[in-house]
Chains A and B, each alone.
Chain A
Amino acid sequence: MSVDALSSFRVTTGTRASGAFALVAAALIVIAFAAPLFVSRSVIQNLFFILTMLALAQNWNLLAGYAGLVSVGQQAFVGIGAYAMFGAVILGGMDPVAAIAVGGVAAVLLAIPTAFFVFRLYGAYFAIGTWVIAEVARLVVAQWKSLGGGTGTSLPRDATRSIWGQEAVAALFGVRGPHAADIVSYWLALVLVIATIGFIYRLLRSRQGLGLAAVRDNQDAARSVGVDALRLKTLVYLAAAFGTGLVGALIYVQKARISPDAAFSVVDWTAYVIFIVVIGGIGTIEGPIVGIIVLFLLQNALSDYGSWYLLLLGLIGIAVMLFAPRGLWGFFTDRTGIELFPVRRNLIVAPGATPDKGGPHG
């Protein structure tokens, strides 16, 4: 086959739906950034919750859905990110917004020795291994007396009153200080979600992403064609820890009060996240987005029922895993063929360039 004929083939991941969706997404992002202009403070706080949980869910989905690493210890990185941010503010005198970056770095520093330990555990035992590490981190942090030990502490008032951008936002929008701080946190959460989804989407469409999919589908076959499975999994683990640490730090900038039990809570930072991903659809970027919307609606509908809410969420999660393991989004995409973040590679043949001989061997 001539070089000329080859050039009429093209590999692409885009589809017509994804092209249209890119425009809609761009419009949504603009609207989301402008949202503080026309919605109330409580809506901003709800959106902050949705965005931070979505960012956590995307990170967990990257681990479990794409790298096959089922962690139930992601609360370790939320907690360590949050505590590192508190340490940088209280002991280092940093601005809380700048200290968020310290949280991300601290999470990676914890993830390196953690990976060393938990990657020694096979498959399912990896899950409980990550949980042990999270417990160790919680117990060690509870010994950190200058950050309140087991009972926790609050961010100093003068730090929360003048975080970066707060004054400018207060003047620009004509709102009070705490409201302006919420707006700043909300924007940061929005940036974090866009960056996380952007990073994951780019990764999946890259060479490494193809390797990751190959490892997930058949590790032995992938290794036989030269994919370094351990290296890929370690990189994904560290990346997810970094993202989770940043989100943890940001959540606690907004909360301004921390304790080891809350910051390392397996229910708050891992159970909800797992249900978001499983219900929405594991192994897709769209799944966690669907999942967080479902979770938010359920939470509002059942907020008066206390523990019945989590009980119901658990039952829904089990039912989805048993009867629709690809979640709500998988259910939808199986029937419509629509993918908003397509990663599958399609071979496009330019019109009029039909190969003169059929079959792969010509």
Chain B
Amino acid sequence: MPPISGCMRDAPWPEDDGMSWLDTVVQGVLLGGLYALFAAGLSLVFGIMRLVNLAHGDLIVLAAYLILVLVTALGLNPFVAALVAMPIMFAAGWALQRLVLNRTLGDDILPPLLVTFGLSIVIQNALLEGFSADSRRIYAGGIETASLAIGPVNVGVMPLLTLASAVLAIVALNQLFYRTSLGRAFRATSDDPVTAGLMGIRPNRIFAQATGVAMVVVTIAALYLGTRANFDPATGPSRLIYAFEAVIIGGLGSLWGTLAGGIIIGVAQTVGAAVNPEWQILAGHVAFLAVLLARPRGLFPRAVD
């Protein structure tokens, strides 16, 4: 498996001094920002409608291809292309929830799991048919290689932007939840859809809007996925797994916990890779299992169920 982030290439490991370990951890924290972006949409949808979307990773890859098409066909800057892609992905998420996923919600966990699993296979193979199995990349120009010296370590501008975007996305989502009437409807439906329905909220509409919002976050995640590393139609499932691990480590229902979870996975991966490049992915999974062993409900649990 290729390394996840472009920021790993120029990091020299041979000299085993404290400096390079600090660098490794900083790169891991920045990588964690990317994983938190992967995870925020998953966390949002689970929090509001208890739906685990197994196609989440594939939707990120789908959005990355959408940005790629906008960049190559219209010659847009990737950041502008992502802005254009956001309303498109919002509409796609809204329609997906309204037409398909709402029909699967209920006490039985089988329908949503199996439908989203089927959706994952459909998206992967549709992308394979449309774009072939070649790996692609979104080119963002000079910003890709730009870096800043922060204290003793050099930090890439793109990884820094990724982490900043993750923090901003989480702040924005929390504002949406706790400061707007839509957020109040989200929370009410999450607590009790039947009672919320009696108060004039239509849960199916709320769910469709929530998935739309999640797809906007997915588009931001896709921008950084596509500009920082290569992707291909089969990239989705592993991104779903990182996202899932971040959500579980953080504790269900807490977006800041999700950010912490993403950072733990990111640091575990870069430290693992520093020890042995073949251990990068494995180290992230091991960190997840260790947290699951010690704190089955995650580090910052908020949801009761």
Contacts and interface: CB of A to CB of B under 8 A. Distances in A.
A314 B116 CA distance: 10
B108 to A, nearest CB: 8
Interface residues of A, number: 42
A293 B281 CA distance: 38
Interface string A267-306: 1000100110010001000000000000000000000001
Interface in A195-246: none
Interface in B210-249: 237-238, 240-241, 244-245, 248
Contacts of A325: 110-111
B189 to A, nearest CB: 18
A136 B122 contact: no
Contact of B125 (A64, A68, A143, A308): A308
Given A135-B285, A136-B285, A311 B121 contact: yes
B109 A70 contact: yes
B241 A128 contact: yes
B114 A310 contact: no
B278 interface: yes
A194 interface: no
A274 B128 contact: no
Contacts of A311: 121-122, 125-126, 129
Contacts of A321: 104, 110-111, 114-115, 118
B119 interface: yes
Contacts of B115: 318, 321-322
B296 interface: yes
B248 A318 contact: no
Given A70-B109, A125-B52, A139-B282, A322 B288 contact: no
Given A139-B282, A308-B125, A322-B103, A128 B52 contact: yes
Interface residues of B, number: 43
A124 interface: yes
B interface: dominant SS: helix
B118 A318 contact: yes
A120 interface: yes
A128 B54 contact: yes
Contact of B110 (A70, A122, A135): A70
B13 interface: no
B293 A278 contact: no
A315 B52 contact: no
B289 A136 contact: yes
Contacts of A136: 282, 285-286, 289
Interface string A151-189: 000000000000000000000000000000000000000
B121 A267 contact: yes
B86 to A, nearest CB: 26
B52 A127 contact: yes
Interface in B263-296: 278, 281-282, 285-286, 288-289, 292-293, 296
Interface string B123-142: 01110110000000000000
Contact of B292 (A68, A120, A306, A314): A120
Contact of A122 (B100, B293, B305): B305
B52 A64 contact: no
A48 interface: no
A307 B121 CA distance: 10
Interface in A79-116: none
A90 B120 CA distance: 37
A262 B241 CA distance: 19
A271 B113 contact: no
Contacts of B109: 68, 70, 123-124
Interface of B: 50-52, 54, 100, 103-104, 109-115, 117-122, 124-126, 128-129, 237-238, 240-241, 244-245, 248, 278, 281-282, 285-286, 288-289, 292-293, 296, 305
17 contacts: A128-B54, A132-B245, A132-B285, A135-B238, A135-B285, A136-B289, A139-B282, A275-B118, A307-B128, A315-B118, A317-B117, A317-B118, A318-B115, A321-B114, A322-B104, A322-B115, A325-B110
